Structure 1
Amino acid sequence: MSWFKVDDSFYDHPKVENLPMAARGLWLTCGVWCAKHLTDGVISAKRVRALGGTPAQIKALIKNGLWVESKDDSGAKCYAFHDWFDMQPSREQIYEKREIERQKKRKQRTNQTDEIATTSRFAKMSPGDTGGDNPRDNPGDSLGLSLAPDPTRPDPIRSADADPKNSQKGTAGFDDFWAVVPRKVGKQAARRAWEKAVKLESPQVIVQKMREYRDDPNRVKSTQNTHLPG
């Protein structure tokens, strides 16, 4: 959406104070149309008539220096707002701003999607996972962890609260975990997955599972088979 900017002193500007109210309305209406269609303040005489402009109103705007009569590339009569770029952004500036906003939103959506996918994969992995670390793996793939509580163990959350050694939260202990990750890709995504994992399991257990997974010969075999023909 584009905006047509009007200064708050417009009403008593020397070019406007003696301008008939109908001409002021035409100026504003045409300005909004130019802003919407990104014409850089140029509007055809045909369009002005379609918007309700009369010859008297047009003449008043030109006489008071608010419009300049001109011709477009086809030779048709048109009108240009005087000093349009003093108050309004150019078409190129608006396109550039829109592209920046699109890139920003695209990056936000990508980061959110990656985080959800990584967390989901992280939570579904089991200690016996043999997924290979091929180049197409995403951060969090083949981490060899299960975030589902084990009924044979005490509640990991309560255990962490009871034992100061297991009270690491957030990113505490992540460096130990990252040190044993087999393929170090997507560190930030892995860190976010780690922060969620330590809420369901103690950091020491997670690191130990990762170490066992890293040293699992079946994982190495699966990795090699990933690259075999056929």
Structure 2
Amino acid sequence: MPWFKVDDTFAMHEKVMAAGNSAIGLWVRAGAWSMQQLTDGFVPDHVLRVLGTPKERRLLVEVSLWDEAEGGISFRSWSERQPTKEQVEAARQAAAERQRHARERAKSRRESQRDDSVSHGPPDPTRPDPTPLPTEVDRAASAAKPKRATQRPAGFRPSAGHIALAQELGIDLRAEWQQFCDHHDARGSTFKSWPAALNTWIRNAAKFGRSRTAAGGTTPRQQADQDMFDRQMARAQAREAGVES
């Protein structure tokens, strides 16, 4: 059974807040319907009339969560965030194939046991399963494996915690977020925890007094602070990767 996915930053996303709770309720119900029917984000007019109101539909189009389509609407960037019909059907086919092989193996074992009972008497009922079960040590070792550092995930966005931290420190999160993305995308930075990296960026922005004028320029002192800020982030990235800076 496929699932309609909503990430953990969805609640505080600016488009969601602009649309309002009523329209977002329609968005979620329509997304679940589309996933159930495997329409790849298209919802026809007759379904929309049952699920919500024309006003809610207009709001979702205005905030760019939906696009108008012939005979209905389509979800913006569906294939980037949700499994497509092709992917769901391929997964179902793979699962069916695994079940078929499992049934064939079980049938083969039963036939082998019947052959053994004819030639050598009844099978040994105390024969243990040779497959060892995972121990607590095995599970702990598996859980302790370090995460691999990756480049910034496409769906990574500031969370409610990042927003609260920026407000507490008096930081313009919108401007800092753009700088954060530009800086690390240009460098090809990798982190094991991108949420932690953004927290560090916000705190360093407050620590070094990084600010921007209305015209977007910087003073020599601000430029020096920005250079120090960039060095600090580079050291944080080196520590994350386990490399001495």
For normalisation by structure 2, the TM-score amounts to: 0.49
* Identity rate, percent: 31
Which amino acid letter does the alignment assign opposite residue 66 of structure 2?
W
- 5+ unaligned residues in a row in structure 2: which ranges? 131-245
Give the 5 Å matches for 1:35-114.
35-51=35-51, 53-71=52-70, 77-114=71-108
Structure 2 match to 1:219? none
Shift of residue 148, structure 1, vs aligned partner: 4.9
In the superposition, relative to structure 1, how do residues 31 and 122 fare at CA in structure 2: closer, same or farther (>3 Å)? Answer: same
For normalisation by structure 1, the TM-score amounts to: 0.52
Write out the 4+ residue segments of structure 1 that deviate beyond 6 Å after TM superposition.
none
More helix by share: 2
Cα separation, 1, equivalents of 2:4 and 2:97: 25
Cα separation, 1, equivalents of 2:122 and 2:35: 56
Local SS of the residue matching 2:19: coil
Local SS of the residue matching 1:89: coil
Cα separation, 2, equivalents of 1:56 and 1:99: 40
Cα separation, 2, equivalents of 1:69 and 1:87: 19
Structure with max Cα Rg: 1
Q: Deviations over 1:89-120 (max 9, x none)?
A: 11001111111111011101110111011111
Q: Does 1:32 align with 2:32?
A: yes
Local SS of the residue matching 2:120: coil
Cα separation, 2, equivalents of 1:50 and 1:36: 16
1:116 to 102, 110, 114: 110
Q: Deviations over 1:98-157 (max 9, x none)?
A: 111110111011101110111112212xxxxxxxxxxxxxxxxxxxx23259xxxxxx9x
Q: Which has the higher contact order (CA 8 A, sep 6+)?
A: 1
Structure 1 match to 2:229? none
> Alignment RMSD, CA only?
2.2
